[in-house]
Amino acid sequence: MTSEKYSPKQANTAKRIIKYFAKFQASIFLLSKGKLWNKWPGGFPIMVVQTKGAKTQKIRNIPLIYVHQDGMPILVASLGGMPKNPSWYFNVKANPNLRISTTDGTEKYFAEEVSKEKKDELWPLICSFYPDYETYQSNTAREIPVFLCKKI
């Protein structure tokens, strides 16, 4: 693994910016039923993951790059390669029953964090959807967590 590219101060600033942008994007996506703001900068399709806060139990809507295997969503907790996992990671760990919205509609899923071996197997597929994940992993010493979702 590598050392951290971002200092704690840089990471906190980036996390705040990402949080507000994500909240806005998820709201527009959901209000328009996926017709507006349905792509990440660069033209990558997104999905909106609805989970409950680990501590608050409040509903949280998180836009993520729409990565999937045979139509089953894959959640990548990259946070742009920052040194800590995104807040939503802990929410999904605590409350793995999710609703995921794509441009095709909304479904219920159960998210399970995959092993390092399974992540290594999925990583080429994940990066085929969004090549920057490779850069994000190289920017941090932490192992970026990955969840595979199954319909419930």
Please report the pLDDT score of residue 17 as a whole number: 75
> Would residue 2 count as lying in a domain?
no
| Residue 1, pLDDT score | 45
CATH number for the domain including 93? 2.30.110.10
pLDDT mean values, one per 10 residues, the chain (152 residues): 72 74 89 93 94 95 96 95 93 98 96 97 97 94 96 96
| 107 domain-assigned | yes
The total of structural domains in the chain comes to: 1
Any domain includes 57: yes
User: From CA 67, how far away is CA 44, in angstroms rounded?
Assistant: 10
Q: How far apart are CA 144 and CA 76, in angstroms?
A: 7
Using alpha carbons, list the distances in angstroms from residue 37 to 18, 110, 149. 15, 25, 23
Q: What are phi and psi of 99, to 5 degrees?
A: -115, 130
- In a domain? residue 76: yes
Asked whether residue 3 is domain-assigned, the answer is no
Strand, coil or helix: 14: helix
Residue 109 within a domain: yes
pLDDT at 3: 74
Residues 6+ away with beta carbon under 8 Å from 17: none
Rounded CA-CA distance 16/135 in Å is 21
pLDDT at 2: 57
Host domain of residue 23: 8-151
